[in-house]
Amino acid sequence: MSDSTEHLVKSFDTDLKRLRDMLTEMGGIVESQVALAAEAIMNRDSNAATRAVEEDPKVDLLEREVEQFVIRMLALRQPMAGDLRRIVAGLKITGDLERIGDYAANVAKRSIVLGQYTLPYSLSGLAHMAHMVQEQLKAIIDAIGSNDTEKAIEVWRSDRVVDDIYNALFRELITYMMEDPRNITPCTHLLFIAKNLERIGDHATNIAETIYYAVEGEVLPDTRPKGDSSAYAVIRAKE
């Protein structure tokens, strides 16, 4: 390998590392947003909700920076095979992270409205779901930084559990709405919050699939395997 070729390879590796660093920085912000949004719901903390919303412009800015950087890499480097997959994967991942940030901000905004109501029921099911989604997000951001396909597969498998919790919450909240019309407004906000959390899990799963394809050059199956949801299958209608 000539000195000039070696220099180009090192320079390209530096670009790839910078792209990965930008994605993990973006991931760290959205992870913080989701944590703040969860805190806002469970603790009726309007300050945490405000902070979650205020972080959103940072995520949007980073998304634009990643897009510009990827376009520059494609134009100047003309990558092929695995390198091309990694660069295009970076572009897809940044889109998923941006959407996660949007959903977290939406959860935070609804938590502020929810704070106006006295809730006569437990939020333990929602807390379960928020915790699961936070675990998914933390794992997938770690996987982005290390190209860890095993961790990506774990996140991919765990999405079924989040779906199961969401379905149970949906049935529970509909029951409360039917029992007392005064519950309709707060339960509607809770339904939207639960749906936003479920969508965050979906985007974490999308990132898992993208990481796997970028590293392995193969796609995961279309149908996700059923996870072990035994710990979360039963959420009591009333506590």
pLDDT digits (tens, 9 = 90+) for 162-176: 999 999 999 999 999
Q: Residue 218 has which token pair?
A: 């193969």
DSSP state of 182: G
Question: 41-48 long-range CB contacts below 8 Å, 24 or more apart?
Answer: 41/107, 41/111, 41/114, 41/123, 41/126, 41/130, 41/193, 42/123, 42/126, 42/127, 42/130, 44/111, 44/114, 44/115, 46/111, 46/112, 46/115, 48/108
pLDDT, residue 220, reads: 76
Kindly state the helix (H) or strand (E) to which residue 213 belongs, with its residue range: helix 184-216
pTM for the whole thing? 0.85
Query: What is the spatial distance between Cα 88 and Cα 210, in angstroms, rounded to a whole number?
Result: 9
pLDDT, residue 2, reads: 44
pLDDT tens-place string over residues 26-80: 999 999 999 999 999 989 899 999 999 999 999 999 999 999 998 888 887 776 7
Query: What is the spatial distance between Cα 166 and Cα 1, in angstroms, rounded to a whole number?
Result: 55
Query: What is the spatial distance between Cα 174 and Cα 187, in angstroms, rounded to a whole number?
Result: 8
237: confidence class by pLDDT, cuts 50, 70, 90: very low
The whole-angstrom distance between residue 157's C-alpha and the CA centroid of its chain comes to 15
Rounded mean pLDDT, 8-35: 87
**Does residue 232 register a pLDDT over 90?**
no
pLDDT, residue 198, reads: 95
